Structure 1
Amino acid sequence: MKRKETYLSRDFRETAALRFPAQAKELNTAFDMRLSALLAENAGASKEKQYHLKRQILPGIAAYEALQRVMPKEEALQIVHGYVERLARTSHKQLAALLHIPGLYRLVPGVFVKSTRSVFGPAAGFDSKELQVGNGIWRVDMMKCPYHDTCVAYGCPEL
């Protein structure tokens, strides 16, 4: 069964093709093999945690490790961070465009709180403390994060 391509795997493959055309096939194979191994090792995780593992955490680790075959660790780190930053900028632009729809901005805080509690909840491996600061400001302190915990477990806390 073919895996769904994530933004990280797509961006990794693009980097391999553009910057290392002679080694692209080898890099893609290394990425695919490492990702398959990581997925197998984490197959027992909850459905909620799998969402994060499959979509971002494990492809990020696999890309980071594969890139280190052809570049220094720090450069590989910056490239993978660049993939994440690009997604964040794109998502921000999309949300900003949606907020031009009259009245929609009023719904965003409630939807954001509900989705954050759902997607980043205990079932997904997160532990958070919500702090109500008043004046409509909502603050969340993450006490446990599977992104951090998984990266530490695989020897790449800097990721």
Structure 2
Amino acid sequence: MGSKQQADIKEFLTDNLEGHAARELFARQSALLRELISNVSGKSAEQAKTLEETILPRVALYKALMGSSLPHERARELMRSYMMDVVAAQKHAFTNKAQVIPGFFGIYKHVFLHTMRTSDLWESTQDHGRDYFDASITKCLWHDACVENGCPELCPLFCDVDDVNYGGLRKLGFSRTKTLGYGGDCCDFHFYRK
């Protein structure tokens, strides 16, 4: 569990809480993460790896914050701040830098659609044309993990990360009208060339 995400969580808590509170919350988050990982069963290797490295550390942080002595509103604010100011900001910075690659739109379209077709992290149908590509996701590991771990209310924050990641890009436009996390019957990703 010495992942970069754990280091980011520790740094975030240290920057936003008093020393003892930050250390205590990180210890609780780490313990919860170990417990959540130990309960993973019936998943493929790819699903288990994504849960361990990406999804469950955030679920554990949410549970640690909500179970702490912090007022629930403050705990929710901290979780949102971590997801938007750390996770989403890092993803956006990476995607934004990648735009300098010649043929970025075509490359991103190919990789995204290939991943949707071959990964078992989602169940989806795809469509594409010269200047657009779509994915209608009807099952999502992120949504399932939040529901299975008793915190479906956390899932919309995972959805919001996409809005920040793809927002304001020069070569790639993004829209979506619904998500599983917000109670929709699917996540209807639509990307288009700018």
Partner SS state of residue 158, structure 1: helix
Give the conservation status (yes or no) of the 8 Å contact 1:6–1:56.
no
Partner SS state of residue 138, structure 2: strand
Find the counterpart in structure 1 of residue 14 from structure 2: 17
**Distance in 1 separating the partners of 2:79 and 2:33:** 15
Question: Closer, same or farther in 2 for the Cα pair 1:25/1:101, shift >3 Å?
Answer: closer
Partner SS state of residue 71, structure 1: coil
Amino-acid identity (%): 28
**Distance in 2 separating the partners of 1:32 and 1:148:** 21
Per the TM alignment, residue 34 of structure 1 is displaced from its structure 2 partner at its CA by: 0.8
Match of 1:39 among 34, 37, 40: 37
Question: What TM-score do you get using the length of structure 1 for normalisation?
Answer: 0.78
Per the TM alignment, residue 152 of structure 1 is displaced from its structure 2 partner at its CA by: 1.4
Number of equivalences: 151
Residue 127 in structure 1 maps to residue 126 in structure 2: no
Find the counterpart in structure 2 of residue 29 from structure 1: 27
Per the TM alignment, residue 133 of structure 1 is displaced from its structure 2 partner at its CA by: 6.2
**Distance in 2 separating the partners of 1:24 and 1:114:** 40
Match of 2:63 among 62, 65, 78: 65
**Please, which runs of 5 or more residues in structure 2 have no aligned partner?**
155-194
Per the TM alignment, residue 89 of structure 1 is displaced from its structure 2 partner at its CA by: 2.7
**Please, which runs of 5 or more residues in structure 1 have no aligned partner?**
none
**Distance in 1 separating the partners of 2:106 and 2:129:** 17
Match of 1:147 among 123, 133, 142: 142
Question: Closer, same or farther in 2 for the Cα pair 1:73/1:11, shift >3 Å?
Answer: farther
**Distance in 2 separating the partners of 1:155 and 1:59:** 15
Question: Closer, same or farther in 2 for the Cα pair 1:70/1:20, shift >3 Å?
Answer: farther
**Distance in 2 separating the partners of 1:93 and 1:15:** 18
Deviates more, 1:51-60 or 1:93-102: 93-102
Give the conservation status (yes or no) of the 8 Å contact 2:65–2:75.
yes
Q: Which runs of 4+ in 1 moved over 4 A?
A: none
Q: Deviations over 1:19-38 (max 9, x none)?
A: 13122332222111111110
Per the TM alignment, residue 110 of structure 1 is displaced from its structure 2 partner at its CA by: 1.3
Q: Deviations over 1:85-139 (max 9, x none)?
A: 2333333233322322334444222122213333xx3x33x22122x36553221
Residue 157 in structure 1 maps to residue 155 in structure 2: no
Question: Closer, same or farther in 2 for the Cα pair 1:82/1:94, shift >3 Å?
Answer: same
Q: Which has the higher strand share?
A: 2
CA RMSD of aligned residues (A): 2.3
Question: Closer, same or farther in 2 for the Cα pair 1:152/1:101, shift >3 Å?
Answer: closer
